[in-house]
Amino acid sequence: MDNSLWLPTSAKEAEALGYGQLDVILFSGDAYVDHPSFGAAVIGRTLQANGYKVAIVPQPNWRDDLRDFRKLGKPKLFFGISAGAMDSMVNHYTAARRLRSDDAYTPGGKHGMRPDYPTIVYAEILRKLYPDVPIVAGGIEASMRRLSHYDYWQNRLRPSILADAPIDMISYGMGEKSILEIAHRLKNGENIASITDIRQTAIIMPLTHLPAETDRNNIVLNPYTECLKDKRKQSANFKHIEQQANKFDGGATLWQQLSDQACVKVNPMYTPLTTEEIDKSYDLPYTRMPHPRYRGKRIPAYDMIRHSLCMHRGCFGGCSFCTISAHQGKFIASRSKASILKEARAITMMPDFKGYISDLGGPSANMYGMGGHDKGKCAVCMRPSCLHPSPCPNLDTSHKQLLEIYHEVDKLPGLKKSFVGSGVRYDLAMHKTGIQATDNVNAEYCSELIRNHVSGRLKVAPEHTSDFVLNIMRKPSFKQFYQFKSLFDRINQKNGLRQQLIPY
pLDDT digits (tens, 9 = 90+) for 432-449: 999 999 999 999 999 999
Tell me: pLDDT of 129 over 90: yes
**411 CB neighbour count, 10 Å cutoff:** 8
Tell me: pLDDT of 465 over 70: yes
Which helix (H) or strand (E) segment is 255 a member of?
strand 253-257
- CATH number for 158: 3.40.50.280
Report the amino acid identity of residue 207: L
- CATH number for 483: 3.30.750.210
Tell me: pLDDT of 225 over 90: yes
> For 129-143, what is the mean pLDDT?
97
> For 200-217, what is the mean pLDDT?
96
Contact predicate 368/429, CB 8 Å: no
Per-residue H/E/C for 181-231: HHHHHHHCCCCHHHCCCCCCEEEEEEHHHCCCCCCCCEEECCCHHHHHHCH
Q: 92 lies in which domain range? A: 3-200
Distance CA(302)–CA(281), nearest Å, equals: 19
Percentage with pLDDT > 90 across the chain = 95
Q: What is the three-class DSSP state of 33?
A: strand
Residue where a domain terminates, one of 165, 200, 235? 200
The verdict on residue 230 lying in a domain is no
Count Cα atoms within 13 angstroms, Cβ side, for 352.
6
> For 326-338, what is the mean pLDDT?
94
Residue 316: closest CA among 297, 304, 329, 306: 329
Q: Are residues 312 and 194 in the same domain?
A: no
> For 183-212, what is the mean pLDDT?
97
The tens digit of pLDDT for each residue in 79-115 reads 999 999 998 999 999 999 999 999 999 999 999 999 9
Percentage with pLDDT > 70 across the chain = 100
User: What pairing do the DSSP bridges indicate for beta strands 312-313 and 371-372?
Assistant: unpaired
Distance CA(244)–CA(12), nearest Å, equals: 45
pLDDT bracket for residue 1 (50, 70, 90): low
Contact predicate 253/265, CB 8 Å: yes
Report the amino acid identity of residue 218: N
> For 218-246, what is the mean pLDDT?
96
The tens digit of pLDDT for each residue in 171-185 reads 999 999 999 999 999
The verdict on residue 247 lying in a domain is no
Helix axes 400-410, 436-452, angle to 10 degrees: 40
Q: Which pLDDT score is estimated for 4?
A: 84
In 3-state terms the chain splits into helix, strand, coil percentages (rounded to 5) of 35, 15, 45
Residue where a domain terminates, one of 200, 226, 246? 200
Q: Are residues 366 and 490 in the same domain?
A: yes
